Amino acid sequence: MITIERLSKRFGEFTALDRVDFVVNSGDLFFLLGPSGCGKTTLLRHIAGFYLPDQGRILFDAKDVTQVPPHLRNAAMVFQNYALWPHLTVGKNVAFGLEERRVAKAEIDRRVTEALEAVRLDGFAKRKVHEISGGQQQRVALARALVVRPACLLLDEPLSNLDARLRLEMRAEIRRICREFKLTAVYVTHDQQEALSIADQIAILNAGRLLQVGTPTEVYRRPRNRFVAEFVGEGNFMTGRVVERSDLMEVDLGDRHLFAQAPAGDRPGVGSSVTLCLRPEIFRISDSQPSGQAWPATLLETAYLGQIAQHVFRSGDDLLKVTEFNPRPARFRPGTKYFLGVDPDDIIFLVEP
């Protein structure tokens, strides 16, 4: 288990981390997600021991390792550029950490073979690094991290140099390896889909501050603020005031009223300013007025993407992004008026500060 307590770091006048607190449970695949420059890699390098914080503590299984040097933390890191030795074979790259630890040669050979088998590179030990593909190089970097049998695995945007197909393949491989070896892993990325698809927990950072920690479902369906809602997925945002406070909150948006499921915890009072987030996929498109909550809107344009179609509707002054799954050709025609229906449970409440 990794515990981060009030961790702060400044570089001159720049605050890279601002009193960050969270816990990574043992065996979890924990993602640090946020825009470039938000502090993700800085935080990861603190966990690895490459940086010392200005204040705060880092604990591994309740043991304070804040001042412990990297080579004594039993953490292995996989870098964005793989950091492989180009003049060494695949096997020698994987063996490097064990050789530095002066492990016996027979033991090195056995563990290198096991590590390459774990990443499905059996028989690649004698190949040169420049002779293998980018995806295979990524697997070599993973094998080199696994061979030292770390307590935790740290990954710094490890898939950013791969094409879309390989990224999908390696996501599944990383998930499988972490489960198989029962590793606690901390994974830095700015890719929302990467995080949502394989994470146990996600931490959202911005400008050095931790904004939210939760499961992928919690972060996507119940973001704590507008930044999180906008960063993790798309949304249509509407601002209004609460006019009725009960299990269903009624919000006056000016040209219409919407009913939304009351948020957990403190509910905004009548008259409070709130922002509603409506994800593009929550809408139902109908030719005629359906039962339930719906309003008229005119289709402006459609982008057909195969498995989905992305529509843009105008409703009053609002332009609404709407996603249709398994779209049928020419089912909806630009310039035509339709009705957009939403369920109160699917509307996200964002209370204005």
Q: Dihedral angle at the C-alpha atoms of 276, 218, 79, 40, nearest 10 degrees? A: 50
Evaluated on CA atoms 160, 166, 172, 177, the torsion sign reads negative
Nearest Cα to Cα of residue 41 among 74, 9, 3: 9
Query: Hey, what CATH topology would domain 234-351 get?
Result: OB fold (Dihydrolipoamide Acetyltransferase, E2P) (2.40.50)
Number of H helices, E strands in the chain: 8, 20
Burial of 221 (0-12, 13-18, 19+ CB in 10 A): middle
- The pLDDT assigned to 173 comes to 85
pLDDT tens digits for range 150-185: 989 999 988 887 788 888 888 888 898 889 888 999
CATH of domain 2-230: 3.40.50.300
Assess contact for 224 and 233: CB atoms under 8 A: no
Query: Which residues belong to CATH 3.40.50.300 in the chain?
Result: 2-230
Query: Which residues belong to CATH 2.40.50.140 in the chain?
Result: 234-351
With 0.85 as the threshold, say if the pTM is over it: yes
pLDDT tens digits for range 68-105: 999 889 899 988 887 888 888 999 999 988 888 888 99
Strand order in the sheet with 348-351: 257-261, 248-252, 236-244, 273-278, 348-351
Q: Provide the β-strand partners of residue 29.
A: 185
pLDDT band for 205, please (50, 70, 90 cuts). Answer: very high
